[in-house]
Every structure is written in structure tokens, then in C-alpha cells.
Amino acid sequence: AMKALADSFEGRARDALDSAEGLAAQAQREAGEAQSDKGHAESMRSKADELRRQADDAYARAAGLDRQAEAEEQRAKAKQGEAARHTEAARRYTTQGQALRKQGADNLGQARAAEEQALRETKSQRYCLDLPGVRLAGGAPRRFGPVAIDAGAPQTSAACRDWCHEHEGCKQSVFVAGEDGAPPSCETYGEASGEPLSFRGVYNSSICGAPSDAQALKEMLEAVFKRKPWVPPPRKCSWAGENCIDTKCCANVCVADWKFSKCDWWTCYKKDEKFGSCHMGPAPGGWDGTKLGGHAPRMVPKAGEGQLTQGTKLFCFAVVMRKAPPRAAYMDAEGAVADNFKRKGLHICQCDEHAFYDGLPTGSAHNIDSFTHAWQLVKQDGRWKKMDWTVKVDVDTVFFPERLRWHLDALRVPQGSAMLVRNTAFKFHFLGAIEVLTREGLALYYERGHECDAHVGKQGGEDYWMLSCLEGIGLDYQADYALLRDKYAAQNGCRHGWAAAFHFYKSIREWDQCYAEAMSVAPKGKA
């Protein structure tokens, strides 16, 4: 029983021990949890402390920004005050500037009035003569502008004349109207030359002096206009089918046989008081039949002694059929012949201005379209306007520009004549190896040449077409049958010291040989 009791107590002791161990384990667990909670609390306290520090820093920065804001506000208020002061100063300066501008305008007005009064007084004490259509020679231009006012260059001939009239030192003015987009110009000179350079509508000169110079100025004017050649206006004739009752002439050239040994000319016949027309042969039946005129181009007489002549500045051009092959075994291609004299600086290269144009591949045996196209290229080029003559020269022509100048100088063509040069006694007196027109003649072609498309047929070559057109629209002529030596006219050989052109030489060898022969007999001192 004691053993059992002991066993019982032992069992209860073991149970109590187990319970104690369980309680100890539980206590240990709770102690661990408490320790963990303590660490968490300490962590939270540390984090809270950090957040308090950050908050303190933020409050401190905010306070600093508040102080900066207050400082900026103070500076802004100061700048506003300064800006207000500047604005007020600007208003004062503007008011002062307006007053000064008004004073300047008043002073300028007074200066202008005084200047104009001085100019009127000067003008009243001077004597001037106008020379319309005249460009006088002069030395270096001088500016005789107002002292107080610079009004710029006069834009009209009257203003240019008055400009000189009003300034005592000015003895001559030359006004040039603007051409081709160029502005007008006024040149003033300290001396009056009395030497005319040109008579053209775009010019206007004046000569001035004291009243005591009036007689001398009148004599100078008379001497100037004595040098002006008489150039009649171009004739306007009627084409076949048009009314010729007023023109009394026919534009169409004669209809000739191939030898030009016989020509049938057109005649302007009167039908009635209001109508007439050009016909070949007799007048139509039932017409009045009175002959009013025919085709009669005018020959230009030489300029009188001392009168101005056309001058000798040349614009020359050649049409090169570069894609055309030689037409015979002994010939060279046109491009090769042209390149030969171009490389040597001969032919048209010795003119004052020159141009090479490519021919059109028209297939025409006479190349009329190609050459008329080239004349349009000349128009577009524009350099012809600054020259006295325009010259079309064939590539197979051996050409001496300096000799042409001799011929033109000898012709003494009155300056401003609208004309061509007939260059041969053969057939129709105008062979296309070299075609020579004055500047005014070419201008007339560009003005009225479109008429030829409708009224001139394309029979014959380019030269006959061109002659028919030019004479039809009213170009006059001078004849110089020694200018050209042409094989077509049975004028072989180049040993001639006066001719300016030799035609035709279609190979480089022949061309060079002809050139050498012509040069071998050139007049002494000439080239």
C-alpha cells in the first residue's frame, strides 16, 4: 500500500513536474514575446524620434523660406518703386523727344523754306536751255545738291533740268530715262561740253549759265542740233490683201524666178475712195485702177558733214548646227569649224560682244526656222541694245570684224537709222553669209517681225526670207557690195585686203587657208 501510495505520489510528482515544465516553457515563451514587444517598442520610439527630427528640420526650412519670401517681397516693392520712377522718367524723355522732334521739324521746314528761296533766287539769275533727245558728252559728273536737304536724284527730265538750273555751279545736266528695268539717272557737270554723243528719245540734256551767257548758249544749242542727222520714221506699207489707200505702198517683195533675172512686183491699186490693195499685174476689173505706189525700199543717204553716225560697236552671233554631220567628204562638221576659230579667238570672237547659238534640228533644207529662232535668242540675250550693230555670221564664213568696222565707218550711216546693209550685187543683193542690221533696225524687227510669219512664204533660203521680212516691215538700206566675197556670186579666192567676209569655206583646212590669204594682203597697219 505504501508502495502504491508512493507510486501514486510519484505519479503525481511527475505530473506536477510536467506541469511545472509546461508552465516554465510557457513563461519562457511569454518572456520571449515580451522581449520582442520591447524591441518593437524601442524601434517605434526610435522611428518616432527620427520623424520628430525631420519635422523639426521641415519647420526650420519653412521658417527660412518665410524669411526669404519676406525679403523678396521687400525687394519687389523696391523694384516696383524703381520701375515707377523709370516709367516717369521715360514719360519725361518722350515728352522732351516730341518737343525736340517738333523743333527739328520746324527747323527743317525753315531750312527748306530758306533753301527753296535760295534756289528760286539762283534760278531767277540763271539762263538754261533744254535739249530734248540729246545726250551731251561730259567729264566727271559733279553733285550740286542742296546744302540742308538731300532730296535724292531727280526722277524726271524736268526735275533734272531744274536741279541744274537752281545750282550756280552746274553748267550741264544729262537725264537718261530708265530702260529694261534700270532706274532713271541724272548727271550734272561743272562745264557745258556742247558735244553730242547720241540723239535718242531716252535722253534729255540741258545747258545753263548766267543771263550774259544766253547768246553763247543759244549758239551752242544750234551747233548741237546741226549735228543731228535727219532720220525719217520707218514706213508702214500694206501686205497683199490689206487696204493700201493710206499707205500707198506694198510690203511684199517681188516674186522672182530662181535666177532673180525677172521679178513680178506688187502695185497698190485704187479701187475707190476708201479702198485699195496690192496686186501683181494689172488692177482687178471694175477698179478705179490708179497706181498709188509699189514696193520701194528707201536707200539711206550718208550723214552730212559733222552729223553723228551710227558708230561701230558690234554684237555678233553664229548659229552652229553641232549635231549635223558633214554633207560631203571634203567638209568638216560645223561644230569642228566653229571650235577651230573659237579656239584661236577669231571670227565673231573679235566683236565687241558675241554669242554662239545651237541650231534647231528642223530638217529644213534652208534652216529658216533655225535662224529665226536664233534671232529670238538674240532678243532674249539683250546685249544687242547696247551695241550699234547686230551681225549674224555663218560658221563657214571667214569673217574679220575690224574690217567690217572700216566698212561701216565709210558708210556714214546717220545715227538712229533703222536699216540693213545689202552686201552683194548678186541676185537679191542680200546673202546670208553675213547679215548686218542697225540696233534700230533690229528693234523694228522685234516690234513687227511677227507680221512676216503670216505674209512671207518660206520659199528660198533664210537670207531671202529675212530680206523679204525686213523690207516688208519698213527697214531701209545702204548698199556695200565690197563687204562680202561669196562663191555663190562667183567671187572665189580670199586674196583681198578690203572685204570683211569670205564665203563659203566648210573645212578647217579651207577656212584657215582663206584666213591666211586674206591676212597676207591686209592693208598696212590693219589686222
pLDDT (tens digit per residue) in 155-165 = 788 989 888 88
Q: Are residues 455 and 400 in the same domain?
A: yes
* 384 burial via Cβ count (<10 Å: 0-12, 13-18, 19+): buried
| Section 369-380 average pLDDT | 92
Among 64-68, 198-202, 271-275, 339-343, which is the least confidently predicted range? 64-68
pLDDT at 118: 53
| Least trusted range by pLDDT, from 56-60, 220-224, 291-295, 385-389 | 56-60
Positive or negative torsion for Cα 345, 346, 352, 353: negative
Same domain, 17 and 141: yes
- One domain for residues 454 and 404: yes
Question: Same structural domain for residues 321 and 464?
Answer: yes
Is 94 part of a structural domain of the chain? yes
Check whether residue 383 and residue 504 sit in a common domain. yes
| Residues 178-227: tens digit of each pLDDT | 776 778 889 999 999 999 999 988 999 999 999 999 999 999 999 999 99
The reply to whether 135 and 183 lie within a common domain is: yes
Give CA–CA dist 480/489, Å, rounded.
15
Inside any domain, residue 309: no
Same domain, 367 and 407: yes
Selected residue with higher pLDDT from 52 and 384: 384
> Residue 318: inside a domain, yes or no?
yes
Same domain, 506 and 418: yes
Based on its alpha-carbon atoms, the radius of gyration of the chain, rounded to whole angstroms, reads: 52
Tell me what the mean pLDDT of segment 379-389 comes to.
96
Domains in the chain, number: 4
- How many Å apart are CA 439 and CA 127, to the nearest integer? 36
The answer as to whether 301 is a domain residue is no
**What are the residues facing 174 on neighbouring strands?**
187, 205
Question: Is residue 300 included in any domain, yes or no?
Answer: no
147 and 46 within one domain: no
Can you give the pLDDT at residue 110? 62
Q: 293: which 3 cell numbers?
A: 505706189
Residues 27 and 164 placed together within one structural domain of the fold: yes
Does 236 map to a domain? no
Predicted pLDDT of residue 150: 43
Chosen domain end from 123, 140, 169: 123
Q: Do both 375 and 498 map to the same domain?
A: yes
pTM: 0.74
Burial state string for 495-516 with b = 16 or more CB within 10 A and e = fewer than 16: ebebbbbbbbbbbbebbbebbe
pLDDT band at 144 (very low <50, low <70, confident <90, very high): low
Is 416 a domain residue? yes
156 and 181 assigned to the same domain: yes
- On whether residue 235 sits in a domain, the answer given is no
Helix residue ranges, H only, 306-438? 334-344, 368-381, 401-411
Mind listing the pLDDT tens digit for each residue in 413-458? 999 999 999 999 988 899 999 999 999 999 999 999 999 988 987 7
pLDDT in tens, 483-516: 999 999 889 999 999 999 999 999 999 999 999 9
- Domain around 260: 242-294
Q: Which of 227, 253, 268 is the last residue of a domain?
A: 227
CATH code of 352's domain: 3.90.550
